[in-house]
């Protein structure tokens, strides 16, 4: 069975500071990995995904993540936080044989201080 662990349910950074949201996964097969963002009272929006190929993936709004197989990690980073980045972030994994059945982590709420 797959699982996703997001370290830190709440992360607070100052505007302009580095954002680092941690995600570790377990999967018995090569996974597909995703980061989604959820703003208040909205659905989820894809930030970026890793399926195959380059392990450093770039997404929208300046976010990027690196797939590290040896560490079973897929941490999300952004060099400089903006107030508009305040939201909840979810890491997710899917089995490439299981269709669109995503297993989500518990989420990390990012707060950005002025």
Partner 1 sequence: KAGVTQTPRYLIKTRGQQVTLSCSPISGHRSVSWYQQTPGQGLQFLFEYFSETQRNKGNFPGRFSGRQFSNSRSEMNVSTLELGDSALYLCASSQLTTGAGELFFGEGSRLTVL
Tell me the closest approach of the beta carbon of residue 95 to partner 1, in angstroms.
Answer: 6
Q: Which CB sits closer to partner 1, 11 or 81?
A: 11
Sign of the torsion formed by the C-alpha atoms of 56, 98, 88 and 12: negative
Q: Which residues bind partner 1 (CB under 8 A)?
A: 32, 36, 41-46, 49, 51, 90, 92, 94-107
Tell me the closest approach of the beta carbon of residue 107 to partner 1, in angstroms.
Answer: 6
Q: Which CB sits closer to partner 1, 20 or 98?
A: 98
Q: Which CB sits closer to partner 1, 43 or 114?
A: 43
Tell me the closest approach of the beta carbon of residue 19 to partner 1, in angstroms.
Answer: 21
Q: In a 10 Å sphere around its CB, with 0-12 CB exposed, 13-18 middle and 19+ buried, how is residue 44 labelled?
A: middle
Q: Which CB sits closer to partner 1, 81 or 87?
A: 87
Q: How far is CA 76 from CA 1, 21, 56, in A?
A: 23, 5, 10
């Amino acid at each position: 069975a797959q699982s996703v662990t997001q370290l830190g349910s709440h992360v607070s950074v100052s505007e302009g500071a580095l954002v680092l949201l941690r995600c570790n996964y377990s999967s018995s097969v090569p996974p597909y990995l995703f980061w989604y963002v959820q703003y208040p009272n909205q659905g989820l929006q894809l930030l970026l995904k890793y399926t195959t190929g380059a392990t450093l993936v770039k997404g929208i709004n300046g976010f990027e993540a690196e797939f590290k197989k040896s560490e079973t990690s897929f941490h999300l980073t952004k060099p400089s936080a903006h107030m508009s980045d305040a939201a909840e972030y979810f890491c997710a994994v899917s089995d490439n044989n299981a269709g669109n059945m995503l297993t989500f982590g518990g989420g990390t709420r990012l707060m950005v201080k002025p």
